[in-house]
Structure 1
Amino acid sequence: MRPWVIVAGDFVRTGGMDAANHALARYLARSGTETHLVAHRVADDLAALPNIRFHPVPRPLGSHTLGFPLLDRAGRRVAKSLGGRNPVVLANGGNCRAGNAVWLHYVHAAYAPQVAGQPLRRMMASASRSKALRDERAVVRGARVTVSNSALTQRHATDLLGANPDSAYFVHYGSDPERFRPPSAEERAEARRGLGWMDDAPVVCFVGALGDRRKGFDTLFDAWTRLCADGSWDARLAVVGAGGELEAWRRRAAEAGLADRILFLGFQPDVRRVLWAADAMAAPTRYEAFGLAVQEALCCGLPAIVSANAGVAERIPESMHGLLVGDPDDAAELAQRLRAWRGSIHIHRDAALALSAELRSRTWDDMARLMTTIILEALS
């Protein structure tokens, strides 16, 4: 059996690509495959599996940018040590030039972020993106197979990165049906009490970093301001996420008299508690290769007001397209979608519960099984 080498920053259960890599490594190890993980961090439950070989890589100063070339170097070294055994070497994006397979969770060429902060920070972010663009193209063009997390990312792989269309595939992320599921009435009440939400007012949640404008929080803020100007609007907005603009948004909300209508929760180690306590998710993202947080919200039975061009929208049936946002820069349209949700809240909740059952029927193991089949057949 061929060994696998997977190069990724982290193998943990939180985060989009981190959770996906954790799931793939766990599936391989439990299937009896010798699995080498080249990473900064590996979850304890994964490191304890007998077929896992962890090759730790430092992350200097906690910087992804500084750690990136170290991942590449370590990945090439491990791949070379296993060269006589014909290993599968799976790079994540452009992080290892030894990869004969690539897993794409994000395409830097598809979106240029507007980074907040001091000029030095913006300059460093620009230089980091330029390097990521070069690495991404080089690794994708050098690999024999590319697997993306959505049809959107697959198109970007071929159109923007030069991937061979004949060996480019997509596999949507799986789900954790035991963890991300609709709560019972008691679980929902407990989640709301834990967050201090003691009334029955509906809550829309937003999950995403506030360090740039990719997630579209600026559009959501403007839409929410419009909605709150109407005395009949009774919903609150709960914002989960940290980043360079968090305090600025808190000040802006207070200045607009919305401190009690927009709740900034910062980083939350247990996002599920927020999802169980909320009534909908808003995600007017400008670019989202997939959108695991949205899928997890749907699995919890929450309607999602999400950008139509997000990868996760591919998993939303046409019957629920009335909540999709066509233009993530249009606050008026977003406000209209939110009003449509509030006006038929029970109908949208029932539709989300039906979709939840469908999404939860496809697990992380199902994703990993399909991925390994595609990759092994392409490399045979």
Structure 2
Amino acid sequence: MPTPITSGLDVLHVTEACGGGVRRHLQLIIPELQRRGVRNGLWAFSARAEQNFAAEVATWAPGPAFMQFQALPTAIWPGMLWLLRCRLQKIVATLQPRCLHLHAGWAGLLGRSIRWPDELQLIYSPHAFGILSGQSWLRRSILPKLETRLAARTHAYVLVGPDECREARALQLPEEKLHLIPNALPEDFAADLLPREQARARLGLAPQTQAVLIPGRLAWQKGGDILLAALGQTRLPNPQTLFCFCGQGPQATAWKRMAKACGVAEQVRFMDYLPDLRRLLLAFDAAVLPSRYEGLSYALLECLAAGLPLLVSDLEANLQAPRCHTFAAGDSASLAQTLPRFLASCQIGSPEKQSWTVSRQAEALQKIYAAASATAQ
């Protein structure tokens, strides 16, 4: 049920990415901004939203002053993009926000394709530009040129990790518009973790199982196929090791087929999307994040905060703690070589204390919004 439209928003958040890290980002940052007196709205539209997205937003406390989720019947195509433009223009005309905060690719394109009044400030958070050699020629050739053109309509870029900053500079985006505000967790995150025995019982994990978590969307970016290929190339020290993929995404069917083709289906369990996964982290003995690219992964931060041993691709964004083990990003042979040593030696440690918290993240965002609004006056 959409929240009735009222007037007077400070910030309207717009996203098509209703899953994974963007979902978690909005879940944490909107309530924190609300507590700070920033009046937020959220307009989301998607054909690929994760399970119960809209219902979950209704549970945020405090929630956004305005919320509307538009379920799309199909993937976005040019005619639908025009209809979405019209809908966004109507919402903005009614709510009159001071800032539009656009999250991830489709929202960034949609919001910046419209010529708005000068007083409306556009903030863009790519949550990873993701322009890599492994992707389609169209994406690699068109997106950089498009982003360079859209930069003129962007008042500020909010970047969540060092790899995003590097990509932004490679695209030659205006330096004065780039703002690094890393993702963060609440200070009391670890206090909400379920005890190990209770968490393992919830997931049906046997006592002798060495459970390895692979968190995140089942998407090319997250590199689950790299892990499956590595499993097919190596022998594990513990035959009771089980790799648990926790998430939904477009590669789910393909990766299940790949697990069978690689002969590792018995070592893998696809657990689907778990809404309370962050509370169940102590059920696992370790975690692997084989991402091809990242902004700054909430799954990484949560595993560190829970004290889980981590094996991650050697992206700069993943190197958040000395205790993270690494392998060469995108290289299944490197992962196959590293994985047995990591699993033989990993032990759950003490939770990682975070000095950068969601409260500080929201404070930094609030300054961006205030500066953008001051510029418009």
Q: Secondary structure at the match of 2:70?
A: coil
Q: Which residue of 1 aligns with 2:72?
A: 60
Pairs within 5 Å for 1:254-273: 254=260, 256-272=262-278
Q: Which residue of 2 aligns with 1:168?
A: 178
- Once the two structures are superposed, residues 137-181 of structure 1 have per-residue CA deviations (whole angstroms, 9 ceiling, x without a partner) of 444331222111112112222322x42102211111121344556
Q: Which residue of 2 aligns with 1:153?
A: 164
Unaligned runs of 5+ residues in structure 2 are 1-7, 46-52
Q: Secondary structure at the match of 1:214?
A: helix
Displacement of 1:339 in angstroms is 2.7
Pairs within 5 Å for 1:1-380: 3-9=9-15, 15-40=20-45, 43-46=57-60, 49=63, 52-54=65-67, 56=68, 58-61=70-73, 63=75, 70-80=83-93, 87-93=98-104, 94=108, 95-97=110-112, 98=116, 99-110=121-132, 113=135, 136-160=147-171, 162-179=172-189, 183=193, 187-211=195-219, 213-228=220-235, 234-254=240-260, 256-272=262-278, 275-309=281-315, 311-313=317-319, 316-317=320-321, 319-320=322-323, 323-325=325-327, 327-346=328-347, 349-350=348-349, 353-354=350-351, 356-358=352-354, 361-380=355-374
Question: Aligned in 2, Cα 1:63/1:181: closer, same or farther, shift over 3 Å?
Answer: farther
Query: Normalising to structure 1: TM-score of the pair?
Result: 0.76
Letter in 2 for 1:52: A
Q: Secondary structure at the match of 1:226?
A: coil
Provide the C-alpha distance between the structure 2 equivalents of 1:196 and 1:179, rounded to a whole number of angstroms: 24
Question: Aligned in 2, Cα 1:270/1:128: closer, same or farther, shift over 3 Å?
Answer: farther
C-alpha contact (below 8 Å) 1:7/1:75 kept by paired residues: no
Letter in 2 for 1:224: L
Provide the C-alpha distance between the structure 2 equivalents of 1:70 and 1:177, rounded to a whole number of angstroms: 41
Q: Secondary structure at the match of 1:61?
A: coil
C-alpha contact (below 8 Å) 2:199/2:280 kept by paired residues: yes
Question: Aligned in 2, Cα 1:156/1:231: closer, same or farther, shift over 3 Å?
Answer: closer
Provide the C-alpha distance between the structure 1 equivalents of 2:296 and 2:37, rounded to a whole number of angstroms: 29
Letter in 2 for 1:357: K
Identity of aligned residues (%): 22
C-alpha contact (below 8 Å) 1:174/1:364 kept by paired residues: yes
Give me the CA root mean square deviation. 3.5
C-alpha contact (below 8 Å) 2:211/2:241 kept by paired residues: yes
C-alpha contact (below 8 Å) 1:227/1:233 kept by paired residues: no
Q: How many residues align?
A: 346
Question: Aligned in 2, Cα 1:91/1:57: closer, same or farther, shift over 3 Å?
Answer: same
Q: Which residue of 1 aligns with 2:50?
A: none
Q: Secondary structure at the match of 2:366?
A: helix
C-alpha contact (below 8 Å) 1:102/1:147 kept by paired residues: yes
Letter in 1 for 2:358: W
Provide the C-alpha distance between the structure 2 equivalents of 1:65 and 1:298, rounded to a whole number of angstroms: 39
> Looking at both structures, which has the greater relative contact order when contacts are Cα pairs under 8 Å and sequence separation is at least 6?
2
C-alpha contact (below 8 Å) 1:291/1:312 kept by paired residues: yes
Provide the C-alpha distance between the structure 2 equivalents of 1:10 and 1:176, rounded to a whole number of angstroms: 25
Q: Choose between structure 1 and 2: higher helix proportion.
A: 1
Unaligned runs of 5+ residues in structure 1 are 115-125
Displacement of 1:129 in angstroms is 8.9
Letter in 1 for 2:353: A
